[in-house]
Structure 1
């Protein structure tokens, strides 16, 4: 359907626009020729599909990362928890920086909100909060 011969700079606002236009065109062509899947979610060029039939694409642990969520298939339902790529060093704004206090507080509230919104079970929330506490300590925030 498409051969890329050139591109836009990484982080360019045009990249998102081009990706959305291209993916919209691909979706239109694909959904004209097949039945609509049970669930189809797309964010720019990342897609998550739950189909009625076909080959299973889950890894050996029945888990797949989608954006910053790890989705695990458990029989008839999905469970989720926060997912961080291995290349992420877990660095955030240091407490000693000259940034306003409201920015520093927003980091903590963002981590907490992420754990509560992304994690399926209380055990996963607790595990994520332990990781958050360690990241904050590593970046100079008090215990």
Structure 2
């Protein structure tokens, strides 16, 4: 039901962006990334459970895993209303939102956001734009003036007092591990590293099996190939990959062998 407006990885977003850029990418196209402030702890408990019920009814499900819908709702309400934690010798009862890291909190937050965002999705789609969400992070591309988009975000923030949207609206932006840029109406993408990024991977001198350690440079380069829209950005990011691997004691010969294996397996000519 939400497959058309959600992504599970950056590469899914890359494919959608590439498809749109062929049809509707202009010099004025903006990339807007939106973060939902403290989503897990801001979703109201009762309304969150009701959104889960609404979602199950929308899917026309009578049972899930042998449990009746009413049983699922009662159990969900119990879990959401009975979260306790200890801090500095004191016990506290959580009265807003759900427990961080709880699978139920994630499910309820996704259901709550699904119903919250429907008006926004319709508005963006009617304007020929794209809207995709990954849990509490959203990426929007649309051919609107920046001031108009800022005004719309302000309007969306009035939809629900529990949901606070923080938007970054520019012609170049990042979403999760993807860097996106509109350069004179042309889409450019590459790997993005957050300021908090630390070059730490599984050390090569660890006791883990060799095949696990070989997979790390392989997967890292494969991701770079999928994300980079130009050969030059691929070359730049490929060189950046080597540094953290070498710092974690990976032999240069093994790195080069795995990089070559990626190109051979996927029939990519690096020249």
TM-score (norm. length: structure 2): 0.47
Q: Give SS of 1:141's match.
A: coil
Deviations 1:78-132 (A, max 9, x none): 2101001111102100000011112101111111111101111111111111111
Deviations 1:2-47 (A, max 9, x none): 9926333433323431331122111123345x35242112222211
1:71 aligns with 2:180: yes
- Which residues of structure 1 form unaligned runs of 5+? none
Q: How many residue pairs are counted as aligned between the two chains?
A: 138
Question: 1:52 aligns to what?
Answer: 143
TM-score (norm. length: structure 1): 0.84
Q: Distance in 2 between matches of 1:134 and 1:35?
A: 41
Question: 1:95 aligns to what?
Answer: 204
Contact 2:124 2:130 in 1 (8 A): no
Deviations 1:44-100 (A, max 9, x none): 221111123231620xxx321111001011122221010011111021000000111
- Which residues of structure 2 form unaligned runs of 5+? 1-38, 43-94, 148-168, 253-271
Greater helix share, structure number: 2
- Which structure is higher in RCO with an 8 Å CA cutoff and minimum separation 6? 2
Question: 2:117 aligns to what?
Answer: 27
Question: 1:117 aligns to what?
Answer: 226
Q: Distance in 1 between matches of 2:98 and 2:215?
A: 32
Alignment root-mean-square deviation, CA: 2.2
Distance 1:113 1:27, change over 3 A: same
Q: Distance in 2 between matches of 1:53 and 1:82?
A: 26
Query: Is the radius of gyration larger for structure 1 or structure 2?
Result: 2
